[in-house]
């Protein structure tokens, strides 16, 4: 007998991430992430499993071990080790050695003692082995503190408020914090140990390095243009290791990432989108390393977007494209997102339509290939699987073998719901895709309340992935309706670009059309429908209840309330204006921005609204939530704000464990207060407080 899923079950969820297959294709290293409920902290360990299905075992014992990378001979694994939770150096020596930061370690692949390689003040990035296995390459941040006196005082336990001197637009980023005084540059260190060598320097960031096959050059991404502080977008560069002379290959018109060398060293594949107004669509490109020709786009007529843009609530951010060349240089393997799935595709570097390597209703969020390019290891999620590992022969998806089942114990106890895909006509008759998630075991004629969920982005997509929040709502008796309106990725560049200069226009019509299509199928009480969404989805939630009273309750998370204030307060506010609203600045186009801002329509909001927002959200600042809360409370409307202390924009996916569970409980409780799935609409309890602060810290 199974039981319904609860919010507290989030503590038991584990995910398998960052899959890396050994050069000989016989073993897979991966990271298992779990929550330590007693400590309210995440634990990350590296595990090993045989590709023939032999038992998985925990390989490292550190509290926070990530980014395993095999040496070329398969005898060693380099990885990053960081402390768990928040650790502060106790003295200047500890600070200089980076005790609170992630550092590169190495460990024999057959077991033994791990050895720390780097001791950098700001830590080190993902390790990259040289082709001969003697050297490890990585990116690391460098730079002196803006206010050294304040930084030094903290070592003595004193609180001396810092004074920041900021002179550029690109000065902070959500989840990372202030970075204006630091730059990312490239380093190498002997794999046997020694002092790191800094390879690059300057007032720019150098990231995602990759060795050439002969080990004499390094490709990387860097924006050294005059536009880097207004509209940052990396170019592909090549560095000669002996002379440290860099060469730029691309022409500053693209935002490039993941440069990957061909086996003969004559070409580099990379993913890239337009520097300005990219609309979230990413292509696969190839460029000759001699610098004598321009980059060639291999996916001009390809509907999917390169990379993983499928949203769930168990992984922060989205996965890169994971580029791999075949041994003969005749194919390039990469991830791409298409109609609610993320799959592996392969493209010919000389041109032609890419073809799929995997298929099915699932979300491949990472993959890796052995040296012979005969075996591929995949990390896959689907609506019933938070994330597990599989292996398959490259050209035989029917022979895929599952290696892990990290949530087997939990899912023997709980009942999960399976979504049904629907197609419907949106604005202008466009054929759109959505899903209906009915409660597990619900009879076909059972009528339930429903929640319309709206994804963020807008350049992202819902799909065939596990979504804990949706499963929780279904477990409480709600039907969850979700879809990909125009502006979503995975349906072609024109589809994702259709939302440019038209937020809350036809995309809003698409969302309501998807809801109406779900209701028309039957089994939904049209008088008990709620709406919820985060980020752009929070924006659309606030917009919807300012333009219709059909929703009985709403939950807006990390919302955008005012496009004019976002310009100057968000870490990417001016880019949002440049890319989505044709550079309509608040001082020249205030009426136009306000016409598309939910804050303008607060007088029309009568739907009970719960706002969930993090006070350290740099993407959608807390002031966005406060504008809506204050305006509604001033009018005496039914509104409540949960303010999560110390959390970022990614609260729902990577925030403090307790905060994430409180958030889930709050969502369910709010909807049950106004549209109970068990007994019909509930009376509002006006005795409850209207402002709650979740003091969790990290």
Whether the per-residue pLDDT at 317 is higher than 80: the answer is no
Which SS3 state, helix, strand or coil, does residue 641 take? Answer: strand
**Mean of the per-residue pLDDT values for the chain?**
94
Region of 691 (left: φ > 0; alpha: ψ -120 to 50; beta: rest) is: beta
Strand partners, 382: 385
What the block records as the tokens of 83 is 């402390």
Whether the per-residue pLDDT at 336 is higher than 80: the answer is yes
Whether the per-residue pLDDT at 221 is higher than 80: the answer is yes
Q: Name the residues annotated as catalytic.
A: 535, 649
Report pLDDT digits (tens) over 135-169.
Answer: 999 999 999 988 999 989 989 888 899 999 998 88
**DSSP letter, residue 8:** G
Q: pLDDT value at position 693?
A: 31
pLDDT class of 493 with cuts at 50, 70, 90: very high
**CA-CA distances (angstroms) from residue 505 to 182, 215, 424, 426, 511?**
40, 52, 18, 12, 10
pTM of the model as a whole: 0.94
DSSP string computed for 88-119: --SSHHHHHTTTTS-EEEEEETT----EE---
**Interior angle at CA 452, CA 606 and CA 643, nearest 5:** 60
Q: pLDDT value at position 519?
A: 98
Report pLDDT digits (tens) over 40-75.
Answer: 999 999 999 999 987 899 999 999 999 999 999 999
Residue 248 CA to residue 233 CA, distance in Å, equals 13
Q: What mean pLDDT do residues 638-666 have?
A: 97
Whether the per-residue pLDDT at 379 is higher than 60: the answer is yes
Please give the torsion angle defined by the CA atoms of residues 343, 344, 345 and 346, in that order, rounded to the nearest 10 degrees: 180
Judge whether 464 and 433 are in contact, CB under 8 Å.
no
Whether the per-residue pLDDT at 694 is higher than 50: the answer is no
Judge whether 665 and 7 are in contact, CB under 8 Å.
yes
Q: pLDDT value at position 319?
A: 66
Q: What are phi and psi of 366, to 5 degrees?
A: -165, 155
Q: What are phi and psi of 588, to 5 degrees?
A: -105, -20
Whether the per-residue pLDDT at 383 is higher than 70: the answer is yes
Whether the per-residue pLDDT at 696 is higher than 50: the answer is no
- Report the residue count for the chain: 698
Order of all β-strands in the sheet with 267-274: 254-261, 267-274, 283-288, 296-297
Whether the per-residue pLDDT at 691 is higher than 70: the answer is no
Residue 514 CA to residue 74 CA, distance in Å, equals 50
Other C-beta atoms closer than 10 Å to the C-beta of 319 total 21
Q: pLDDT value at position 697?
A: 31
Judge whether 391 and 377 are in contact, CB under 8 Å.
yes
Q: Which parts of 405-505 fold into alpha helices (H)?
A: 408-411, 468-475, 493-497
Highest mean pLDDT among 42-56, 73-87, 535-549: 535-549
Q: pLDDT value at position 678?
A: 63
Q: What mean pLDDT do residues 209-219 have?
A: 98
Q: pLDDT value at position 676?
A: 85
**DSSP letter, residue 654:** H
What the block records as the tokens of 502 is 């038209």
Q: How far is residue 223 CA from its own chain's centroid?
A: 22
Q: pLDDT value at position 320?
A: 73
Whether the per-residue pLDDT at 406 is higher than 60: the answer is yes
Q: What mean pLDDT do residues 648-666 have?
A: 96
Residue 648 CA to residue 617 CA, distance in Å, equals 4
pLDDT class of 551 with cuts at 50, 70, 90: very high
Residue 536 CA to residue 530 CA, distance in Å, equals 17
Q: pLDDT value at position 315?
A: 85
Order of all β-strands in the sheet with 27-36: 15-21, 27-36, 41-50, 57-58
Q: Report the range of poorest mean pLDDT among 325-339, 483-497, 599-613, 676-690.
A: 676-690
Q: How far is residue 588 CA from its own chain's centroid?
A: 34
pLDDT class of 434 with cuts at 50, 70, 90: very high
Residue 689 CA to residue 628 CA, distance in Å, equals 17
Q: What are phi and psi of 132, to 5 degrees?
A: -90, 0
Q: What mean pLDDT do residues 379-393 have?
A: 96
Whether the per-residue pLDDT at 400 is higher than 70: the answer is yes
Q: pLDDT value at position 366?
A: 95
Whether the per-residue pLDDT at 686 is higher than 80: the answer is no
Q: pLDDT value at position 143?
A: 93
What the block records as the tokens of 100 is 């609170």
Whether the per-residue pLDDT at 692 is higher than 50: the answer is no
Q: pLDDT value at position 698?
A: 25
In a 10 Å sphere around its CB, with 0-12 CB exposed, 13-18 middle and 19+ buried, how is residue 437 labelled?
A: buried
Q: What mean pLDDT do residues 79-98 have?
A: 92
Q: pLDDT value at position 1?
A: 80
Q: What mean pLDDT do residues 504-524 have?
A: 98
Whether the per-residue pLDDT at 466 is higher than 90: the answer is yes
Whether the per-residue pLDDT at 688 is higher than 60: the answer is no
Q: What mean pLDDT do residues 12-37 have?
A: 96
Q: pLDDT value at position 157?
A: 84
Residue 58 CA to residue 162 CA, distance in Å, equals 42
Strand partners, 333: 324, 346
pLDDT class of 684 with cuts at 50, 70, 90: very low
Report pLDDT digits (tens) over 251-307.
Answer: 999 999 999 999 999 999 999 999 988 989 999 999 999 999 999 999 999 999 999
Q: pLDDT value at position 206?
A: 98
pLDDT class of 177 with cuts at 50, 70, 90: confident
């Amino acid at each position: 007998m199974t039981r319904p899923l609860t919010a507290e079950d989030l503590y038991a969820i584990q995910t398998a991430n960052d899959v890396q297959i050994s050069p000989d294709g016989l073993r897979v290293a991966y990271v298992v992430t779990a929550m330590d409920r007693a400590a309210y902290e995440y634990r990350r360990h590296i595990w090993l499993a045989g590709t023939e299905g032999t038992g998985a075992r925990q390989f490292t014992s550190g509290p926070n071990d990530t980014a395993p990378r095999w040496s070329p001979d398969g005898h060693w694994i380099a990885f990053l080790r960081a402390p768990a939770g928040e650790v502060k150096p106790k003295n200047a020596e500890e600070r200089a050695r980076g005790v609170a930061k992630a550092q590169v370690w190495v460990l024999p692949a057959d077991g033994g003692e791990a050895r720390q390689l780097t001791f950098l003040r700001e830590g080190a990035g993902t390790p990259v082995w040289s082709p001969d296995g003697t050297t490890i390459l990585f990116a690391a941040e460098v730079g002196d503190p803006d206010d050294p006196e304040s930084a030094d005082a903290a070592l003595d336990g004193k609180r001396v408020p810092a004074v920041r001197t900021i002179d550029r637009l690109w000065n902070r980023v959500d989840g990372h914090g202030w970075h204006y005084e630091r730059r990312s540059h490239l380093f190498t260190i002997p794999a046997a140990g020694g002092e790191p060598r800094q390879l690059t320097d300057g007032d720019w960031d150098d990231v995602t390095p990759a060795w050439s096959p002969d080990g004499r050059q390094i490709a990387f991404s860097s924006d050294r243009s005059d536009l880097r502080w207004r509209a940052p977008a990396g170019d592909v560069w090549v560095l000669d290791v002996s002379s440290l002379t860099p060469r730029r290959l691309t022409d500053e018109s693209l935002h490039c990432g993941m440069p990957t060398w061909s086996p003969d060293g004559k070409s580099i594949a990379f993913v890239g989108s337009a520097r300005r107004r990219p609309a979230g669509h990413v292509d696969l490109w190839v460029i000759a390393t001699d610098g004598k020709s321009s980059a060639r786009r291999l996916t001009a007529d390809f509907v999917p977007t390169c990379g993983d843009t499928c949203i769930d609530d168990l992984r922060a951010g989205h996965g890169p494209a994971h580029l791999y060349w075949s041994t003969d240089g005749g194919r390039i393997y990469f991830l791409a997102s298409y109609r609610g799935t993320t799959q592996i595709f392969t493209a010919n570097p000389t041109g032609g339509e890419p073809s799929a390597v995997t298929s099915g209703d699932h979300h491949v969020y990472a993959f890796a290939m052995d040296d012979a390019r005969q075996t591929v290891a995949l990390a896959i999620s689907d609506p019933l699987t938070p994330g597990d590992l599989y292996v398959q022969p490259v050209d035989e998806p029917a022979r895929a073998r599952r290696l892990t089942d990290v949530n087997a114990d939990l899912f023997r106890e709980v009942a999960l719901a399976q979504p049904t895909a629907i197609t419907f006509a949106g604005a202008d008759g466009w054929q759109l895709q959505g899903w209906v998630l009915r409660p597990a075991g619900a009879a076909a004629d059972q009528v339930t309340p429903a929640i319309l969920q709206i994804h963020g982005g807008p350049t992202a997509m819902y799909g065939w992935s596990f979504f804990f929040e949706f499963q929780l709502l279904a477990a409480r008796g709600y039907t969850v309706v979700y879809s990909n309106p125009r502006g979503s990725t995975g349906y072609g560049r024109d589809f994702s670009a259709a939302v440019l200069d038209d937020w809350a226009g036809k995309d809003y019509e698409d969302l309501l059309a998807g809801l109406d299509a779900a209701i028309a199928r039957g089994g939904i009480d049209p008088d008990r429908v709620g709406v919820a969404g985060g980020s752009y989805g929070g924006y659309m939630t606030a917009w919807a209840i300012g333009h219709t009273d059909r929703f009985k309750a709403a939950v807006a998370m990390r919302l955008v309330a005012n496009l004019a204030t976002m310009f100057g307060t968000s870490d990417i506010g001016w880019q949002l204006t440049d890319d989505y609203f044709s550079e309509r600045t608040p001082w020249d186009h205030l009426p136009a921005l306000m016409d598309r801002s939910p804050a303008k329509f607060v007088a029309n909001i009568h739907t009970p609204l719960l706002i969930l927002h993090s006070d350290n959200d740099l993407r959608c600042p807390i002031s966005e939530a406060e504008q809506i809360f204050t305006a509604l409370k001033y009018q005496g409307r039914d509104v409540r704000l949960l303010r999560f202390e110390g959390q970022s924009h990614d609260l729902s996916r990577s925030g403090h464990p307790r905060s994430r569970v409180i958030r889930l409980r709050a969502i369910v409780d709010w909807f049950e207060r106004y549209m109970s799935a068990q007994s019909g609409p509930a009376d509002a309890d006006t005795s409850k407080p209207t402002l709650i602060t979740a003091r969790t810290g990290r």
